[in-house]
């Protein structure tokens, strides 16, 4: 085994981890958007989307 093997292996591993984390983040974002769309279709809205005039009622 040579020094170059370890260098290339570490770069390869770092690239693999970067790709996996990128794909995981992308897939999770798509899943969250689908969940939000399903909740909004069911009539459940986010508190941040509440009209400004209803902010003073108990919060």
pLDDT, tens digit (0-9, with 9 covering 90-100), for 18-56: 999 999 999 999 999 999 999 999 988 877 776 666 665
Q: Domains of the chain: which residue ranges? A: 9-36
> What is the spatial distance between Cα 59 and Cα 55, in angstroms, rounded to a whole number?
7
> What is the spatial distance between Cα 59 and Cα 50, in angstroms, rounded to a whole number?
12
pLDDT at position 1, please?
Answer: 73
For residue 56, give the DSSP letter.
T
> What is the spatial distance between Cα 38 and Cα 54, in angstroms, rounded to a whole number?
24
Give alpha helix (H) positions in 2-45. 3-41
């Amino acid at each position: 085994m040579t020094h170059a093997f370890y260098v290339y292996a570490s770069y390869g591993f770092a690239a693999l981890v970067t790709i996996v984390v990128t794909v995981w983040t992308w897939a999770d974002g798509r899943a969250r958007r689908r969940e939000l769309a399903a909740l909004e279709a069911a009539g459940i809205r986010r508190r941040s989307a509440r009209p400004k005039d209803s902010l003073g009622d108990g919060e």
